[in-house]
Amino acid sequence: MKRTIKPNQNNPETKKKQITQMFDGISKSYDLLNRIITLGVDILWRKRVVNILKKEAHDKILDIATGTGDLVIALAKIETSKIIGLDISPGMLEIGKKKVITHNLTHRIDMQLGDSEMLRYSDEYFDAVTVAFGVRNFENLDKGLLEILRVLKPNGTLVILETAVPKNNLLKSLYNLYTQNIMPFLGKLFSKDKSAYQYLSDSAASFPYGEAFNNILRKNGFISVEDKPQTLGIASIYFAKKA
C-alpha cells in the first residue's frame, strides 16, 4: 500500500488537518513564493486553463483548492452566472477574498470555506470544475474525484493543473535537484517554514502524472481524458468530461 505523503509524517493527525494548518501558516508568503519558485510561469499555465474552458459555454464554475484566488480571478474572464472558489484553509481563503475585492469581482465570485471531499453542492450543479495544484493534497484522491463527478452536470468539464515530473532524464535530474534542495531552501528563506515546502516538493515527486493520472480519472468515471504537458513537463493540464 502506497504511503500517504503528509506535511509531517511523524504527526498522527490526518493529512487533511495538517494540510489546513500548513497552508494557514504559509498563506501570507504563498503568492510571492509561487512567483519565485515557478519564475512566474504558473501565471501562464492558469491562462491556458482559462483558454481551454473558453472553448465551451460554462454558466457555473467551481474552483476547488482555490487558495489565494489566482485561478478563480482568472476564470472571471469567462462569461458565467456563478463562480465559486472553495478552499479548506481559512488563511488562504482570507487572502483570496481580499484579492477578489481588489479586483472588484465580489458580484461574480463567491469565496467559500469547504472540504473538496465532502462538497455541499447538489448533484449536477456545475458546468465546469477546476483544480490548480490541489488534487495532490486530497486526503482521499478517489473520494475527491468522485465528488467532483457528482456535482458536474452531464457533459460537464473538469480541468486540473498539477505538477509533473519531466520524462527526459537530464531534465528530471535538474528538476529533482531544484525541488528537493532549492525549493525547500527558498521556503525557509521567505516563509520561515522549510517543512511546508519540503512537503510540497515530496508530494509533487510522488504524485502520479501523465497517463498514470489519466487512468485514475478514467477509473473514477471520467471520459475524453487527456493531458497536456507544460514547460518541459514540469506541470500538466488534465482535461476530462462527465459522460
C-alpha cell at 62: 467551481
Give a yes or no: residue 184 inside a domain: no
Phi, psi at residue 114, to the nearest 5°?
-175, 170
pLDDT in tens, 53-108: 999 999 999 999 999 999 999 999 999 999 999 999 999 999 999 999 999 999 99
Which residue would you say has higher pLDDT here, 188 or 223?
223
| Cβ atoms < 10 Å from Cβ of 87 | 28
Give a yes or no: residue 5 inside a domain: no
Give a yes or no: residue 127 inside a domain: yes
Residue found by looking up cell 520524462 in the block: 167
Give a yes or no: residue 96 inside a domain: yes
Pairwise CA distance, residues 121 & 188, whole Å: 38
- CB within 8 Å of 176: residues ≥ 6 apart: 165, 205
Alpha-helical runs (H) found in 103-239: 141-151, 169-177, 183-191, 194-206, 211-219
CB-based burial label for 192 (10 Å; 0-12, 13-18, 19+): exposed
pLDDT score, position 195: 80
Give a yes or no: residue 33 inside a domain: no
Which domain range does residue 44 map to? 15-27+38-164+207-242
Give a yes or no: residue 180 inside a domain: no
Phi, psi at residue 65, to the nearest 5°?
55, 45
Phi, psi at residue 66, to the nearest 5°?
-65, -20
Q: Give the CA diameter of the chain.
A: 48
3-state secondary structure of 237: strand
CATH value at residue 45: 3.40.50.150
Residue 2 has pLDDT above 60, yes or no: no
Give a yes or no: residue 84 inside a domain: yes
Give a yes or no: residue 201 inside a domain: no
